[in-house]
Amino acid sequence: MLYNKYRPKKIADLVGQDAAKTFLSKIDADSVPHTIIFYGPSGTGKTTAARLLAKKIHCENPTSDGDVCGVCYGCQSVENGTTLDYMEIDATSSGGVNDIRELKDRLLLTTLSGKPRIVYIDEAHNLSKQAFDALLKILEEESSNIFVLATTEQQKVPKTIRTRSFEVSFLPATKEDIVALVKRVAVEEGYSIDDKVLGMIAFIAEGSYRRALVLLEDVLMHAKTKTITEDDLEDLGHILSVEEIDIINAFKPAFFKGDWGELMNVAKKLPTDDKKLRPIAYHMYNLAISIVTNASKKVQTPRKIDKARFRFISTLSEALMPNQAITKPALVKAIVDFLLEMYR
């Protein structure tokens, strides 16, 4: 998988997470908190940061700026998953009280390196109440191990544990960071992807680096050539979650001509599922901007249709703002407003 192949191997390689990079750069085996909570959306680097923390604790030749060397035995044993001094637990499948009791028994073993053991609990919010109680008891009784709890739902971690923890926030990836990452990985894999396809991937990824690289892998797997352009979106529609690609194909000429009837047909075909609708709306938005930009080069004085198009772009832009929930009625209203403006 590309997201594993290109997982950051050094602290400096982390993308976008300045708080995590600062924390990892400054800590060492003597100063690292006993319990840490990494919280933030899925696919933003929490597991990667936990592995970098383990490297930092066990690195034999740390750099002068606080990074790991990446090549020593300590770093490589974490990288390859061959050390018992770093443990990963998925609370989704191992979140019961018996799992935590078993963990307690395993923690009685002395680490091979003589340094603290790092215990990483992913999706920690899925621990049962009894498991959290058992974990709290472990945290209160001993301090020779370092516990890292990763969660997308910070509020579900009991306050009794949060008050004992150092918390590090992971932010959703920006569109710019995702585009840069996807473009770099595509080049490394020998592909070229145009900006509109990159923008589509970044939009659908919704702030997740992992999701973006999963999408990219699917795109590359189905690509017919080493150069992927907007023209390939029809073939790659199902990969990019644009299942109703015929809507987009119908929208482009209708928007260009101002075809009332066809645009109303487009509006009627819009899916009700927001996850399917958002990529379609985003691509319609990009197409609209492209059409308006090209039209403005030929027409000196804006016509009624041009003003209507600007109204459509503005309305759709507001609906597609980050964290703005777009619904079918909102998008249909945007299209209808555009039509009414055009034919008023």
- Specify the amino acid at residue 182: V
pLDDT tens, position by position, 248-261? 778 888 888 877 77
SS3 of 323, please?
A: coil
Judged by average pLDDT, the poorest of 42-46, 61-65, 150-154, 227-231 is 227-231
Where exactly are the structural domains of the chain? 2-169, 173-240, 243-344
Half-sphere exposure of 62 (CA within 13 A, CB side): 19
225 pLDDT higher than 80:
yes
Cα–Cα distance measured from residue 55 to residue 344, given in angstroms and rounded to the nearest whole number = 65
Is 320 or 76 the better-scoring residue by pLDDT? 76
- What local confidence, expressed as pLDDT, does residue 281 receive? 79
Pick among 1.10.8, 2.60.120, 3.40.50, 3.30.1370: CATH of 173-240: 1.10.8
pLDDT band at 114 (very low <50, low <70, confident <90, very high): confident
Q: What does the pLDDT look like over 72-87, one tens digit per residue?
A: 999 999 999 888 899 9
CB 201 within 8 A of CB 279: no
Whether the predicted pLDDT of 325 surpasses 60: no
Mapped onto helix, strand or coil, the DSSP state of residue 226 is coil
Q: What's the pLDDT at 12?
A: 93
Res. 316 pLDDT band, cuts 50 70 90: confident
Q: What are 139-151's pLDDT values in tens digits?
A: 988 778 899 999 9
For residue 227, the cross-strand partners are 192
Tens digits of per-residue pLDDT, 91-104? 988 889 999 998 88
- Percent of the chain with pLDDT strictly greater than 70: 85
pLDDT for the residue numbered 268: 78
Asked if the model's pLDDT at residue 240 lies above 90, the reply is no
Q: Whole-model pTM?
A: 0.74
Alpha carbons 237 and 245: distance in angstroms, whole number = 6
Q: Which CATH number fits domain 2-169: 3.30.565.10, 3.30.980.10, 3.10.310.40, 3.40.50.300?
A: 3.40.50.300
Residue pair 284/312 in contact (Cβ under 8 Å)? The answer is no
Tokens of 35: 């319990």
Mean pLDDT score across all residues of the chain = 84
Considering all CA atoms of the chain, what is the largest pairwise distance in Å, rounded to the nearest integer?
Answer: 79
Looking up tokens 């990446």 gives 70
* pLDDT value at 318 more than 80: no
Interval 313-340 mean pLDDT: 66
Q: Within 10 Å of residue 271's Cβ, how many Cβ atoms? A: 14
Range scoring the smallest mean pLDDT among 37-46, 84-93, 188-197, 233-242:
233-242
Please identify which residue in the block is written with the tokens 């923390």: 53
| pLDDT for residue 171 is more than 70 | yes
The CA distance from 337 to 344, in Å, is: 10
Tell me if 125 sits within 8 A of 152, measured CB to CB: yes
Name the least confident of 6-10, 18-22, 104-108, 290-294: 290-294
Q: How confident is the model at residue 342 (pLDDT cuts 50, 70, 90)?
A: low
pLDDT in tens, 287-296: 787 777 776 6
Tokens of 308: 């209507």
CA distance 338 to 267: 12
Residue 269 φ/ψ, nearest 5 degrees: -90, -5
HSE-up of 209 (CA within 13 Å, CB side)?
28
